[in-house]
Amino acid sequence: MNTAIAVTDLGKRFGAKWALQDCTFALPEGRVCGLVGANGAGKTTLLRLLCGLSRPSTGRVEVAGQAPHDSAQFLSEIGYLAQDIPLYRRWSVADHLRMGAHLNRRWDDRAAHDRLRALRIPLDQRVGTLSGGQRAQVALAMALAKRPRVLMLDEPVAALDPLARRNFLSTLADAVADGDLTVMLSSHLVTDLERVCDHLVVLADSRTVLADGLDEVLASHRLLTGARRDTTGVERDHTVLRIERTHRQVSMWVRLNGALHDPHWEVTELSLEEIMLAYLGLGADHGVEPVVDGVPA
Where do contacts with other proteins occur on this chain (CB under 8 A)? 30-32, 48, 51-54, 70-72, 75-76, 78-80, 82, 84, 86-89, 91, 95, 98-100, 102-106, 146, 166-167, 169-170, 172-174, 176-178, 191, 194-198, 215, 218, 269, 271
Supply the minimum distance, in Å, between the C-beta of residue 296 and other proteins: 18
> What is the Cα–Cα distance from 71 to 51, expressed in whole angstroms?
11
What is the nearest approach in angstroms of other proteins to the Cβ of residue 269?
A: 6
What is the DSSP code string of 138-191?
HHHHHHHHT--SEEEEESTTTTS-HHHHHHHHHHHHHHHHTSS-EEEEE-S-HH
Which CB sits closer to other proteins, 165 or 255?
165
Residue whose CB is less far from other proteins, 179 or 287: 179
Minimum distance between the CB of residue 185 and other proteins, rounded to whole angstroms? 12
Q: Which of 237, 184, 216 is nearest to 49 (CA)?
A: 184
For residue 44, give the amino acid letter: T
Instruction: Pick the closer one to other proteins by CB: 30 or 281.
Output: 30
Q: What is the closest distance, in whole angstroms, from the C-beta atom of residue 290 to other proteins in the complex?
A: 26
Q: How far is the CB of 232 from other proteins (least distance, A)?
A: 30
Query: What is the DSSP code string of 54-94?
Result: S--SEEEEEETTB---S-HHHHTTEEEE-TT----TTSBHH
Q: How far is the CB of 120 from other proteins (least distance, A)?
A: 15
CB of 108 to other proteins, least distance (A): 13
Closer residue to other proteins (CB): 177 or 288: 177
Q: Provide the CB-side half-sphere exposure for 130 (13 A, CA).
A: 29
Least distance CB 150 / other proteins (angstroms): 12
**In one letter, which amino acid is 242?**
R
Q: Based on C-alpha coordinates, what's the Rg of the chain?
A: 21
User: Is the CB of 31 or the CB of 207 nearer to other proteins?
Assistant: 31
Separation in Å, CA 30 to CA 81, 199, 270: 18, 10, 26
Rounded Cα distance between 197 and 214, Å, is 7
| d(C-alpha 191, C-alpha 108), whole Å | 31
Give whole-number Cα distances, 82 to 45, 126, 155, 178, in Å.
Answer: 11, 20, 8, 23
> Toward other proteins, which CB reaches closer, 166 or 245?
166
- CA-to-CA distance for 40 and 206, rounded, in angstroms? 8
**Closer by beta carbon to other proteins, 235 or else 274:** 274
The smaller minimum CB distance to other proteins, of residues 37 and 100, is found at 100
Q: How far apart are the first and last CA of the chain?
A: 42
